Amino acid sequence: MVLFLVGGVGLYAQNADKDKDEKVFFPLYNGLIVSTDIYGLGASVLGGDFLSGEIAVAANLKNRYFPVVEIGYGTTDAYSDRGTHYKSGAPYFRIGMNYNTMYKKGNPNYLYVGFRYGYTSFSYDAISIPAEDPIFGGSMANPSLTDDIWGGSVPFDHKGLKAGMGWMELLVGVHAHIYKNFHMGWSIRYKRSMSTTLSGYGDPWYVPGYGEYDSNCFGLSYSLIYKLPF
């Protein structure tokens, strides 16, 4: 019985030492990660109305927390079915944090959740395009743009309208190792407007970095990632 107890204690101690050796410990700083989002470029190539590109820099802290800064530029030059021409383009930025939900495993592939605060200040042009008169020829005011009170067509030509928006994002994403220091990832983002400064002549249609103007929306990102060797 004594030999059995001694043997059991010895086996437990060996397993504890083995588990201790298998644990992965990370220092506070584990390097910088630089990424570029190519979803905004690809969506435009495939026929989307918005074109955007951005670069992000994140620091790896304890392989658990990833404070991040994202800087980009978004633009659009589109014509709507209602006969309007909308044009805008401006830089934007976001700051926030990602949290690695698999930090204990020490795996380069992981699932993360995070948040961002974004802001942009931009100008935009909103112009109604004259429609062709199908009966008498020539151009006429666009009949699809009507005055809701007095009736009739309401042509407009506003250029350089100013606006600004701040918003929050909640996101979930995947970070996958490809080869050596190269990685890739994607995320789904829920965006909600927090503050807006709008022109008195009408709301913008597109907000750089946010997407189509609304109180909330969803966005996607697909990133190519490189872990810096320092």
- C-alpha distances in angstroms, 103 versus 65, 66, 68, 229? 9, 11, 17, 20
| 26-227: in CATH 2.60.40.10 | no
Q: What is the pLDDT along the chain (230 residues), one digit of tens a residue?
A: 433 333 433 433 444 444 444 567 889 999 999 999 999 988 877 778 899 999 999 999 999 999 999 999 999 999 876 678 899 999 999 999 999 999 988 888 999 999 999 999 999 998 877 655 555 555 555 555 555 566 555 567 788 999 999 999 999 999 999 999 999 999 999 999 999 999 877 789 999 999 999 889 999 999 999 999 88
Phi, psi of 5 (to 5 degrees): -65, -45
Please state the pTM of the whole predicted model: 0.80
pLDDT of residue 11: 37
- Please report the DSSP string for 61-72 in residue order: ETTTEEEEEEEE
| Cα dihedral value 143, 144, 149, 154, nearest 10 | -60
Residue 173 CA to chain centroid, in angstroms? 11
**Structure-block tokens of residue 75:** 């633009």
Pairing of strands 65-79, 211-212: unpaired
Q: Where are the domains of the chain?
A: 26-227
